[in-house]
Structure 1
Amino acid sequence: MITEITGIKTIRMLYLQLLYRCNFACQHCFHGERLQHADAFTLEEAITLMRLMHKEYGTEAVNLLGGEPFVYKDLPEVVRYAKQELGLHVEICTNGYRIERRLTEIAPHLDLLRISLEGIGATNDAIRKFGSYQGALSALAHARDLGIPTGATMTVNARNIDEVLPLARTLQYYGARQLKLHHLRPVGNAAHHPELLITGTAAYGRLREQLRAADDLTIEIIVDEDLSEDGAPEVCEPLSAAAIPRIEADPRGALTMSCKAVGKDAHAFWYDKEAGHVVHRPSATDELALAVPGVVYARA
């Protein structure tokens, strides 16, 4: 269905939001009030979607997220099926809070553990949850001991932009391979926290200068190109290429191809859970009608 409508034949990675439920309520979370919703994939629905994406669109990787994926009861079964039956590259994006026992269980089938952090110590805890910073470091250390490659994500905002480098150095100490920096979009909980928004884009220029000058960093830094003094770059590709890097499925089955449409209900396609296939539900405000560009990530 996606190919017939858009011409897209290949989708490299499926971002599979297994459930909305989370043990955090982060101030910047794009899910907003949906964190309280009960929508979730059943094990069979998750398996069927991964199998469909792999077969029809050549999907070679899956990133399991939520909500918080480690509170999803069937996480081990999803991870094992993705790796053993489909041969997918398997990532999990988590808050890292008290995940050690379950992480040990899935370690043999996991290619990357990515933990979300929003700064150092109290800065992170104010945005996410008290105790979450130390919990994340504990998870990173445990993953290192298990031999699981690790990385982190950070949504750059007015409170934490000055802690990007200190966080990168801390992650490097814990053996993380990559820090991925996201641009904050005012949707979900972030819409209720305007103090997080960066209004002067010169701050992005200063951040990039700091990253270029930090010759002690060996950790890879990946940056959303919207973190730029000039705003969104012209290099953003429209969603019309034969191959795209990602598609995201939310717990209802709504599919989103651009990060810039996540959290905005701009869905042109849905995964029909009962029928087990993708359907086209066009609207005047979907990501295709509005020509929402994709997000470009590049090394800092």
Structure 2
Amino acid sequence: MIAEVTGIRRIRMLYLQLLYRCNFECLHCFHGTRLQHADAFTAEQAANLLTLMRDRYGTEAVTFLGGEPFVYKDLARVVRHARRELGLRVEICTNGYRIERRLAEIAPHLDLLRVSLEGVGSTNDHIRRSGSYQSALNALGLARELGVPTGATMTVTSRNIDEVLPLARVLEHFEVRQLKLHCLRPVGNAAAHPELLVTEPAAYARLRERLREAQPAIEVVVDEDLSEHGAPEVCAPAGGPAEIERIEADPRGALTMSCKAVGRDAHAFWYDKRANRIVHRPTATDELALAVPDVVCGRV
């Protein structure tokens, strides 16, 4: 259905939000009140969607997210299925909180563990949860011991923009390969915390300059809103590009092609879990009708 409506015939990666439930309530989380919702994929539904995406759209990789994927009881099962049965590259994005036992269980089937951090020490813990910083470092340390490659993500806010470089230096000690920096978008919990928004545009330019001067050993990737040149690409209907980098499925089955539409209920496509098919449910406010821009990442 996606190909018929948009012309898109290949989608490289599926971002699969397995559930909304999380052991954190981060101040900037785009899920907001949905963190309390019970919607989730069953292991069978997740396997069905993964198979559909691989067979119909040539999907070659999956990133499992939540909520918090490590509180999903069937995580090991879906990870093994994705890797062993479907041959997909498997990544997990996690808060890294007390995941050691389950990480050891799935390590042989994992291509990348990406841990979310929002600064160093108390800066991170204030945004996320007390004790979460040290727990995340413990997870990165164990991943290194288990031979699992690691990355990190950070959402740039007014509280942590000056800690990007200090955090990068900490991550270097754990042999983390990449730090991805995202722009805060005022949806979900972030809508209730406008003080987290970076309101001075020049602050991003100073951040980029500091990164260029420091030349950290770790690769730093920024999304377009933090870059010097915002990408004009949009989610377009038929006649647009035949291939896109990613699509994201939330626990209800709503599918989103643009990071900027995530959390905004701007879904043109849905995965029907019972029928195991993708359906088109257009609205006047979906991402295609509004031509919501995608987020293009680039290296500093």
Name the aligned partner's letter for residue 260 of structure 2.
K
8 A contact 1:201–1:229 mirrored in 2: no
Q: 1:50 maps to which residue?
A: 50
Name the aligned partner's letter for residue 195 of structure 1.
E
Distance (whole Å) between structure 1 residues aligned to residue 228 and residue 214 of structure 2: 20
Alignment of 1:86-125 (within 5 A): 86-125=86-125
1:136 Cα offset (Å) = 0.2
Q: 1:251 maps to which residue?
A: 251
Distance (whole Å) between structure 2 residues aligned to residue 238 and residue 86 of structure 1: 28
The 3-state SS of whatever aligns with 1:247 is: strand
Q: 2:292 maps to which residue?
A: 292
Distance (whole Å) between structure 1 residues aligned to residue 57 and residue 31 of structure 2: 27
Change (3 A) 1:214 1:59: same
Name the aligned partner's letter for residue 253 of structure 2.
G
Q: 1:263 maps to which residue?
A: 263
Distance (whole Å) between structure 2 residues aligned to residue 263 and residue 197 of structure 1: 17
Change (3 A) 1:21 1:145: same
Distance (whole Å) between structure 2 residues aligned to residue 265 and residue 238 of structure 1: 15
1:236 Cα offset (Å) = 3.0
Q: Deviations over 1:109-144 (max 9, x none)?
A: 000000000000000000000000000000000000
The 3-state SS of whatever aligns with 2:16 is: strand
Q: Does 1:129 align with 2:129?
A: yes
Q: 1:213 maps to which residue?
A: 213
1:225 Cα offset (Å) = 1.6
Q: 2:225 maps to which residue?
A: 226
1:237 Cα offset (Å) = 4.5
Distance (whole Å) between structure 2 residues aligned to residue 236 and residue 182 of structure 1: 17
8 A contact 2:235–2:257 mirrored in 1: no
Q: 1:80 maps to which residue?
A: 80
Percent identity of paired positions between Structure 1 and Structure 2: 73
Distance (whole Å) between structure 2 residues aligned to residue 82 and residue 234 of structure 1: 32
Distance (whole Å) between structure 1 residues aligned to residue 124 and residue 231 of structure 2: 32
CA RMSD between the two structures: 0.9
1:229 Cα offset (Å) = 6.2
Q: Does 1:190 align with 2:187?
A: no
Larger deviation: 250-259 or 234-243?
234-243
1:228 Cα offset (Å) = 3.9
Distance (whole Å) between structure 2 residues aligned to residue 229 and residue 56 of structure 1: 36
Distance (whole Å) between structure 2 residues aligned to residue 75 and residue 282 of structure 1: 32
Distance (whole Å) between structure 2 residues aligned to residue 200 and residue 213 of structure 1: 21
Q: Deviations over 1:155-188 (max 9, x none)?
A: 0000000000000110111110000000100000
Report how many residues are paired.
297
Name the aligned partner's letter for residue 115 of structure 1.
V
User: Structure 1: where are the runs of 5+ without partners?
Assistant: none
User: Structure 2: where are the runs of 5+ without partners?
Assistant: none
Q: 1:32 maps to which residue?
A: 32
Distance (whole Å) between structure 1 residues aligned to residue 109 and residue 274 of structure 2: 28
Distance (whole Å) between structure 2 residues aligned to residue 68 and residue 191 of structure 1: 21
Distance (whole Å) between structure 2 residues aligned to residue 74 and residue 224 of structure 1: 32
8 A contact 2:69–2:94 mirrored in 1: yes
8 A contact 2:112–2:150 mirrored in 1: yes
Alignment of 1:13-24 (within 5 A): 13-24=13-24
Distance (whole Å) between structure 2 residues aligned to residue 250 and residue 142 of structure 1: 29
Name the aligned partner's letter for residue 254 of structure 1.
A
Name the aligned partner's letter for residue 91 of structure 1.
E
**TM-score normalized with structure 2 length:** 0.98
Q: 1:236 maps to which residue?
A: 233
8 A contact 2:21–2:38 mirrored in 1: yes
**TM-score normalized with structure 1 length:** 0.98
